[in-house]
Amino acid sequence: MTKIRKRLLIVSTLIMVGMLLLNSRLMQIQLISTESFSDNNINLIEASVKQRTQEMIIDDGRGKLVDRNGESLLYTKSNRLVLFPFLKEMDWPVEEIAALAGLSPYVLTEAVKKMKEPTMIGGELSGSQMEEINRLQTPGVFAVPIQEEQQTTVADHIVGITAESKEIIEKNYKNQLKKGEISITTPVGISGLQRSFDEFLLPEQESKLLYHVDRRGGPLFGIDVKYTGAANPFYPVNIQTTVDVAIQKRLEEVMNRSGLKEGGFVLLDVETSEVVAMTSRPSINKKNPYNNEKSIVNRMLTPQMPGSIFKTVIAAAAIEQNLVQANELYNCDYSIHDKILPAKKKQGLLNFTDSFAESCNRTFSDLAKKMSEKDPEMMDEYAHKLGLTELVGWNGDVFHFEQFRQFDQEARNTIWHPDDDKKDVNLVKLAAIGQRNVKLTPLSVANMMATIARGGKKQTVKIVDEIQYKNGGSLYTFHNQKMSGNRISPYTALQLQRLLKEVVIQEKGTGRRFQTLPYTVAGKSGTADIRVNAANKEIVNKWFAGYFPVENPKYALVVVDLNTFSDTSPTNQIFYEIVKELYEMS
């Protein structure tokens, strides 16, 4: 009997402990942790409401990225007819609404029969159509402006992407999370401008139509549909970029036709160094960006081996330091290492101007050797004077952000490996022709071309002009900004302009193809040897960088094809077509 009592006591105690634990858990769920349940800080009240709510998101509440003319880079906004599922249970003026929307009554009734959630029906409505439909005040029928992501992406690397990231939320937005201003599932920027301007773009409040349903999806509190939206007239903000969407779209079409797989282009306004258009390939896979994380990387902000593009720096130093004799000739039948070249690569005796136009390696390796003997830091000095030794994107203090950067993914250029000896003649010669450890971002090369076209004035590159309040007022303006440090003299800039023009106008110039363009072009080609593949074919980076029109420079343009074959690269064709497109759009 004693054993039975003990067992009953143990069982009763276990039941009571279990009940206490269950009640404690219920108290935690219903009374204590209602707004921050579990490690994921789930708001149980919101989740409960969401379970019995159907909604149509009109605007996600995140700040917008717009071009220089105010056109969205990511979304389209259109007036659309929205119908709710409970219409199938009631009489409503189907024929009248169908007539106003330009649809057949049959289309509307059939759509409602199949509907399980609020749905857009038909095409875009005019302002008057929207007014007439809403004037009927039919429950479950709304004509509203709806924001939709564009089907065809444009400037995807400029815009970047958003995604849920618990790590970023907890690292950067603890206070907002604690205050309930955002949740752990709020999308944040993980690349492009979405990332660099993320704190400004965080959603204020979604705009949506919603109603409550029972477990079968029927109206819980009648047929009352509510509109919720941000009442704040100032937020969310617009980030007004310097990009021209019309130009961006046209030039992306050029890229798509070219078949270029890795690389891209940068187009700058010469006067301001503002980005007018920019594209990187491969394109971002927005549906599954992490399937190929390299696609998220903007190649235009990543240092690449430039080849003969770097001869522009050597030319600047040679001009300014008087290292070039008027009648001096260079034997371009020899390589930089004093070996006789194959017959097809021989260029004969060339002067300085012709050497630049025809891109003779021997001339610039000899000049670099002279520079090194005079001052081992000279190459670095002139790279700095042309804006190649520092980040070129706009940076500065913006509110509480110290050294805020518009291009958060921009990487630093390199000329030397830390262990390189700048007095080693062989390393100096390789650096002079843009090989070995010389790596430049296409953005910085485009800015160098703009600097030369401006007469040597260095400016940072800007891609955002202003942060605007929702009502159009200015929250912050990014003024044009000079780059620090010394610059080339106006005379040197003038001589570089002449050399860059010779590349195109000379019969043997590496840019002679551009002679037939409606705009006159000045520029420099570049081919950097990367490696030799298994079939013994050279893999190269193929560049062309320049500005146009020469008489009154408006644009600086860089096109680069990365890890390609020199004989099949579309670099020059892309440059040609872009210049032609811009002429036709002017």
Degrees (nearest 5) of the Cα angle 132, 64, 267?
Answer: 120
Which letter does DSSP use for residue 32 in this model? Answer: I
Angle subtended by helix axes 490-505 and 311-320, to nearest 10: 130
User: What DSSP element (H or E) covers 541?
Assistant: strand 538-548
- Which region holds residue 387: left if phi is over 0, alpha if psi is between -120 and 50, else beta? left
* SS3 state at 183: coil
User: Nearest-CA neighbor of 240 among 189, 193, 186?
Assistant: 193
Span between the terminal Cα atoms of the chain, in Å: 103
| Residue 464 CB-half CA count within 13 A | 33
Spatial strand order in the sheet of 119-121: 119-121, 75-83, 141-149
* SS3 state at 447: helix
Cβ within 8 Å of residue 582, ≥6 positions away: 247, 519, 555
User: Nearest-CA neighbor of 267 among 563, 545, 567?
Assistant: 545
Upstream peptide bond of 236 is cis (omega within 30 degrees of 0): yes
**Phi, psi (degrees; rounded to nearest 5) at 196:** -65, -30
**Phi, psi (degrees; rounded to nearest 5) at 120:** -80, 135
Count helices and strands (H / E) in the chain: 19, 21
Q: What is the set of active-site residues?
A: 308
Upstream peptide bond of 342 is cis (omega within 30 degrees of 0): no
User: Nearest-CA neighbor of 275 among 240, 237, 236, 309?
Assistant: 240
Cβ within 8 Å of residue 197, ≥6 positions away: 63, 65, 189, 239, 464, 467
